[in-house]
Chain A
Amino acid sequence: MSIRSALATLIPSSPRIVTFICGALAALVTSLPLFVTCSFWVMCFNDLPGFGDKFRRLVTAGPLWFYRWFAKPRIMMSIFHRVRLRRFKKPEDVFEPGCAPVSLLVDLEGTLTEFSPPLDSVKEAIKVFDRVASQSGLHLSHVHYVTNANLSALLADCPPDLSGRIHVSAHKPCFVPVKGFQQPGTVVMGDQYLTDGLLAWRYGLEFALVESAVRRPAWPRLQFLIGRVLSPVFFRKMANAEPVHGKAQKPAPE
């Protein structure tokens, strides 16, 4: 596999970025001796011992800083603490007996709708899901929709009952849910391990993975495959009948 084809697989939608990165890499290879020479000329012997350590610290500092920032909401949890994962065939199955989430963060693209959906189909999907949630006894203020897609047009003519409940261009998994949604009992529902799943992992919430009914484009498909490989590190699978909080809920009075 060449550099270009590897980059093109990673960033399929931006051939210009791939071209630029390839050009910069080729130029960097040729200029590398001079960059190294310049870095040595500003050093003296006393800077040299531990040069490898300094370089290693520099290289690891970035990922470490990112991890600390990313995992900051997991204040009381160990790095090895895995969150619960349930798999559902349809989004509505999250309300099946024994699950009963206290609040829900729901993904739109790929979960409730197809990819790059028209605005009307998004509104329709939200309406249907809100109805199911209400029928299951969940107050609508406890159901928020979070999508990474840029659906700002959706906010423009948003019905009053939806205002404040839709978060577009949310940058999951870095999205910060409102306070009430950071508590145990909240379920993050989505079709991607690396966005929805990691959001759940950051806040120690339960993750409901919905099998996408539509065929994913190449990039989301690759994301899903990578996420599936990494999932045992972050999630532990649960049987669907097991309740959200790990203990049996009281049966509702007849």
Chain B
Amino acid sequence: MYQGRYLLNDVRDRKDDRKEGAQKQRFPRSWVAKDPDEKSEGQKVGASKDKEYEESRSKENQALTAAFTSFIVRWVLAALIVGCLLPIEYLTNRGWVWHAGFLVIIFVIAALYEAARNLCKTWAVAASKESRAWRTKQVCTLAVILLVGLGYGLRAAVGVGLWLAGADYTTLDRMAIGASLFGSMFVALTWALESTKANREELTKTKAHLLWFRDAVDRAACRANKTVARDENALTGWQSPLAPWAFFAVLATGALACFTFQLFPGYHPGPMALISTAILVVAVFFPLPITFLMTMLGFAGLCVFFVRRQCLSEAPLQP
């Protein structure tokens, strides 16, 4: 279903994908050679060009039909899986309501996300027209990243819930929170790199939610003495705790540590585990080679902790 939801996003962004600076070769744009909307009604561009535009328009229609057909097929398959494939207890104990609810939540989150993105764009364009600073930039962008992360949390919680049928709600809650923050961090890092592909004016018109990332990337690149360009890895230097990817990395590490300890009932995180987690949390602010070394150190520390605890304990991992 999530692939279907991404497909809707691609269809919605198809016009932005064609714009100069924000170009992206993804479906359905990758199918259509020319932008059919480039030519206005009644405009004369020559017979051969007219034919090209007609072909592009027909190809775009085909692509949209294919996209919506695929989307409907996914819905039917999802309904069949919830109704027919899941264990019979789900049907008798109203477990199916949960699963149908999960399917609906995908689109609730998607609708909220698209609304937040739209708001970002509208406010950014308005601020740019009035030649003033966009005051709610951080709040709007933060809302977009948080909403994007919720999808990851939802998928992780459903996956863990189906796999560990007896998992308690605390485990699922922590998993959902950890995965949501991890998803937000992942998307924040992707958008940080994406924000280097165009200048601010182009970003304002197409992807206003990337403007805050562009500010943070500019600052990080300045600290690392690098220029901001699409072929430059600008994030290798010291990182500010206020950079969106950095604080989401800190929160995600903390939340996933809580989730992992939840999987080992009766294990009290000793000094070794706490120090290793602290190393991982702090590592994100350092330049790249130090971050990597600290990550390896934290990972090794946690490995030793969990292995030793399992050897000492008689009933080890019981999620």
Provide the B241-252 mask, 1 if CB < 8 A to any CB of A, else 0: 000010001001
* A118 interfacial contact with B, CB 8 Å: no
Q: Contacts A2-B317, A45-B230; is A34 near B288 (CB within 8 Å)?
A: no
* B148 interfacial contact with A, CB 8 Å: no
Provide the A47-89 mask, 1 if CB < 8 A to any CB of B, else 0: 1110000000000000000000000000000000000000000
Q: Contacts A2-B317, A37-B284, A45-B197; is A27 near B186 (CB within 8 Å)?
A: no
The main secondary structure of chain A at its interface with chain B is helix
Shortest distance in angstroms between A45's beta carbon and chain B's nearest beta carbon?
Answer: 4
B272-319 residues at the A interface, CB under 8 angstroms:
276-277, 280, 283-284, 288, 291-292, 294-295, 298-307, 310-311, 316-319
Cβ contact within 8 Å between B307 and A19: yes
Q: How large is the interface on A (under 10, 10 to 19, 20 to 34, 35 or more residues)?
A: 20 to 34
**From A23, A40, A44, contact of B231 by CB (8 A):** A44
Cβ contact within 8 Å between A34 and B291: yes
**From B253, B299, B319, contact of A28 by CB (8 A):** B299
CA distance A20 to B307 in the complex (A): 6
Of B32-40, B66-74, B199-207, B232-240, the stretch lying at the interface with chain A is B232-240
Chain B residues lying within 8 Å of A229, measured Cβ to Cβ, are none
Cβ contact within 8 Å between B232 and A42: no
Shortest distance in angstroms between B204's beta carbon and chain A's nearest beta carbon?
Answer: 18
Cβ contact within 8 Å between B233 and A31: no
**From A20, A37, A43, contact of B233 by CB (8 A):** A43
Chain A residues lying within 8 Å of B197, measured Cβ to Cβ, are 45
CA distance A46 to B264 in the complex (A): 42
Closest to A35 in B: B295
Most interface-central of B249, B276, B277, B306 (chain A CB within 10 A): B306
CA distance A19 to B253 in the complex (A): 23
* A248 interfacial contact with B, CB 8 Å: no
* B145 interfacial contact with A, CB 8 Å: no
* B196 interfacial contact with A, CB 8 Å: yes
**From A20, A26, A31, A45, contact of B193 by CB (8 A):** A45
Q: How large is the interface on B (under 10, 10 to 19, 20 to 34, 35 or more residues)?
A: 35 or more
**From B234, B249, B264, contact of A34 by CB (8 A):** B249
Chain A residues lying within 8 Å of B190, measured Cβ to Cβ, are 40, 48
* A178 interfacial contact with B, CB 8 Å: no
Chain B residues lying within 8 Å of A2, measured Cβ to Cβ, are 164, 317-319
Q: Contacts A33-B185, A34-B295, A35-B295; is A44 near B288 (CB within 8 Å)?
A: no
* B86 interfacial contact with A, CB 8 Å: no
Closest to A49 in B: B25
Of B102-110, B135-143, B255-263, the stretch lying at the interface with chain A is B255-263
Chain B residues lying within 8 Å of A47, measured Cβ to Cβ, are 193
Closest to A3 in B: B317
* A216 interfacial contact with B, CB 8 Å: no
**From B233, B235, B316, contact of A19 by CB (8 A):** B316
Closest to A38 in B: B292
CA distance A46 to B192 in the complex (A): 13
* B194 interfacial contact with A, CB 8 Å: yes
Cβ contact within 8 Å between B302 and A31: yes
Cβ contact within 8 Å between A44 and B232: yes
Q: Contacts A3-B317, A22-B306, A34-B283; is A40 near B253 (CB within 8 Å)?
A: no
New contact pairs (12) apart from A29-B259, A30-B298, A37-B189, CB-CB < 8 Å: A2-B317, A2-B319, A23-B306, A24-B307, A27-B299, A27-B305, A29-B260, A34-B294, A38-B291, A40-B190, A45-B196, A46-B230
Question: What are 6 sample pairs from A and B whose C-beta atoms fall under 8 A apart?
Answer: A1-B164, A23-B310, A33-B256, A41-B233, A41-B288, A42-B288
